[in-house]
Amino acid sequence: MSHSKKDEIQVDHNHDGVDRRGFLKCMAWAGTGTICLMSGGVLKSYSLSRLAELDPSQMKGELSFAQISDSHMGFNKAANPDVVATLKAAVAKINALPTPPEFLLHTGDISHLAKPEEFDTVDQILKGAVAKDVFFVPGEHDFVGDDGQQYRERYAKGSKGAGWYSFDKKNVHFVGLVNVQNLKAGGLGSLGRDQLEWLEDDVKSLGSSTPVIVFAHIPLWSIYPDWGWGTEDSAQALSYLKRFGSVTVLNGHIHQTMQKVEGNVTFHTAASTAFPQPEPGKADSPGPMKVPAEQLRSLLGVTDVNFVRGKHAVAIVDKKLNQPDQVSQENQPSNY
Amino acid sequence: MNWYRNLACIAFVVASGMACIAVTRTAAGTEPNAAAADATEVKIDNFTFAPGTITVPKGTTVNWTNRDDIPHTVVAEDKTTFKSKALDTDDKFSYTFDKPGTYSYFCSLHPKMTAKVIVQ
């Protein structure tokens, strides 16, 4: 595989194989289509324009899935009068991914007001995705009015408590958490004791080399508490995952992409398919952010996740709805 | 709008000296007012309840109107005393405070939104 030395992260202050300065640099490029490939803790970054130089076995990954979030079906205000169209565009973007996703994760706020017709519409649109299996976690909008009863009947049969569960795909362990129930006045997202006890038990017999992917609606790291962008008891949840070599946390709620690496844990939030929200502190409140119509799709998107076994590498690529689709594998030049 | 109806009611009371029952469009947990002149308005906009603190005499009906472009709820801190359904833009909720006390409340969708009603 050819790549220039300057793409490989060299500085390792914490002696844990992760160059945070390099990752921050990588994060800054993420919006323009950069792949940050973490391989055994060592971070390499590649811009999508240099895909041709990459070893396909590095890129293809053994496990591919896509994350969508915050479809807010039923929203119809100025920030996006047609959330059906943008969700359909998100599905089209998923269907055009170079490596077809095997399944989807939806990180919540499926509906805008937890109305049956809103859930029905999302279900119908997602039927058009190339990946037929969708795993959900609820957002606070999905729990409005009935504390999640409809949500659980539709999307979380066989789950525990408010709707948490886990499953395995190709020896990668997925955990869906609910942090939008029983929110207290003035509080942040909350997992609660029952769920934390379940989580501790759920992962305790897994080998530390098992990759773990946790997904939940509200971010599990503290992004901006003033706007409720954090989870009160996430530190305890993460303490149960400390021993694992590769942990990825996928969230939604904030309607913009953001990443952070802390030790072996990569945190990532997805864009919404419905409307963007302002960056932390850049507006009076975290409400829907109105932008000129031609800019809207550049602020909405899906996330493509590829997992390469053996190297604990997770490639997380955000795809904005206005980006052109990549050329498919068959059309690549032979030296790719 | 409620306050037009209330204003008309007050005029009627003054003119005729009779009690006026104003029926306001409400969600669960409210009763028709006997004296409409005590109603107080709280506007919800920009993820804020305004005014954040209001002080009213007991028996007052407080009316909330959501002017934001995102839904909010009006839920007592104890989650029992009063609890609106989801209020979309222009939806309203009312509650009549019969007992004195301090009633902290919040939006259950956006729990950082807090406010209170002091009833004397």
> Domain of A98: which CATH number?
3.60.21.10
Residue A331: pLDDT over 60: no
Ordered by start, the domain boundaries in chain B are 2-119
Q: Is A279 exposed, middle or buried (0-12, 13-18, 19+ CB in 10 A)?
A: middle
Q: Number of residue pairs across A and B with CB atoms under 8 Å?
A: 60
Residue B17: pLDDT over 70: no
Chain B touched by A148 (CB under 8 Å): no
Contact A7, A44 (CB under 8 A): yes
**CA torsion angle for A231, A232, A233, A238 (degrees, to 10)?**
40
Chain B touched by A287 (CB under 8 Å): yes
* CATH superfamily name and code, B2-119: Cupredoxins -  blue copper proteins (2.60.40.420)
Between residues A33 and B104, the one the model is more confident about: B104
Number of H helices and E strands in chain B, helices first, is 1, 8
Between residues A16 and A295, the one the model is more confident about: A295
pLDDT of residue A315: 85
User: A7 lies in a domain?
Assistant: no
Angle among Cα B54, B57, B62 to the nearest 5 degrees reads 55
Chain B touched by A51 (CB under 8 Å): no
Chain B contact probe: residue of A73, A109, A140 with most B CBs at under 10 A = A140
Residue A39: pLDDT over 70: no
**Residue labelled with tokens 């009549």:** B96
Q: How confident is the model at residue A83 (pLDDT cuts 50, 70, 90)?
A: very high
pLDDT of residue B47: 97
Residue from the list B69, B86, B112 with its beta carbon closest to the beta carbon of A78: B69
Q: How confident is the model at residue B39 (pLDDT cuts 50, 70, 90)?
A: low
Torsional class of A163: left (φ above 0), alpha (ψ -120 to 50), beta (otherwise): left
Q: Does A288 sit within 8 Å of B111, measured CB to CB?
A: no
Contact B43, B59 (CB under 8 A): no
CA–CA distance, A27 with A208 (Å, rounded to integer): 27
User: A336 lies in a domain?
Assistant: no
Q: How confident is the model at residue A53 (pLDDT cuts 50, 70, 90)?
A: low
Q: Is A165 exposed, middle or buried (0-12, 13-18, 19+ CB in 10 A)?
A: buried
User: pLDDT per residue over A4-13, tens digit each?
Assistant: 444 444 444 4
| Strands, E assignment, chain B | 40-45, 48-50, 53-56, 60-66, 75-76, 92-97, 101-106, 114-119
Expressed as residue numbers, the domain containing A121 is: 62-324
User: pLDDT per residue over A212-233, tens digit each?
Assistant: 999 999 999 999 999 999 999 9
Least trusted range by pLDDT, from A33-42, A53-62, B45-54: A33-42
CA distance B36 to chain A (A): 29
pLDDT of residue A41: 41
Q: How confident is the model at residue A307 (pLDDT cuts 50, 70, 90)?
A: confident
Q: How confident is the model at residue B113 (pLDDT cuts 50, 70, 90)?
A: very high
pLDDT of residue A3: 41
pLDDT of residue B37: 43
Residue from the list A114, A186, A287 with its beta carbon closest to the beta carbon of B112: A186
pLDDT of residue A312: 58
Q: How confident is the model at residue B3 (pLDDT cuts 50, 70, 90)?
A: low
CA–CA distance, A308 with A305 (Å, rounded to integer): 10
User: A269 lies in a domain?
Assistant: yes
What residues of chain B lie within 8 A of the CB of A226, using their CB? 112
What residues of chain B lie within 8 A of the CB of A225, using their CB? 112
Mean of all residue pLDDT scores within chain A: 84
User: pLDDT per residue over B68-93, tens digit each?
Assistant: 999 999 999 999 999 999 999 999 99
Identify the closest residue of chain A to B104 by CA–CA distance. A185
User: A13 lies in a domain?
Assistant: no
User: A43 lies in a domain?
Assistant: no
Between residues A225 and B8, the one the model is more confident about: A225
CA distance B32 to chain A (A): 24
Number of domains in chain A: 1
User: A308 lies in a domain?
Assistant: yes
pLDDT of residue A310: 62
Q: Does A114 sit within 8 Å of B86, measured CB to CB?
A: yes
CA–CA distance, A18 with A39 (Å, rounded to integer): 10
pLDDT of residue A171: 87
pLDDT of residue A266: 93
User: pLDDT per residue over A122-162, tens digit each?
Assistant: 999 999 999 999 999 999 999 999 999 999 999 999 899 99
Residue B12: pLDDT over 50: no
pLDDT of residue A211: 92
Say what percent of chain A tops pLDDT 70: 77
Chain B touched by A141 (CB under 8 Å): yes
Least trusted range by pLDDT, from A40-49, A119-128, A321-330: A40-49
User: A29 lies in a domain?
Assistant: no
Q: How confident is the model at residue A55 (pLDDT cuts 50, 70, 90)?
A: low
pLDDT of residue A82: 97
Residue from the list A114, A185, A288 with its beta carbon closest to the beta carbon of B106: A185
User: A293 lies in a domain?
Assistant: yes
Residue A26: pLDDT over 60: no
Q: How confident is the model at residue A25 (pLDDT cuts 50, 70, 90)?
A: very low
Q: ipTM greater than 0.90, yes or no?
A: no
pTM value is: 0.80
